[in-house]
Amino acid sequence: KGKPGADTFLTRVVLEGSNPYGSHWKDKVSGLAMPPNKVAIKEADAKKLVKWILTLAPK
């Protein structure tokens, strides 16, 4: 949140999945991969979801 291009990066992660050892997860989780979701969600919907999530206030 607050980083240029965060919405584009996160949309790609939603659609393509993630490596639990990737740099954006470093020291946050271990051993949990997110599988690709291209078959379950359209890119336009993934973008809307990510943009909405980025508007939420931190807890």
Q: DSSP string spanning 1-59?
A: --STTHHHHHHHHHHH-B-TTSGGGTTT-SS-PBPP-TTTS-HHHHHHHHHHHHHSPP-
pLDDT tens profile 15-40: 988 876 766 666 766 666 777 777 78
* pTM for this model (two decimals): 0.72
- pLDDT given for residue 24 in this prediction: 64
Residue 56 reports pLDDT greater than 70: yes
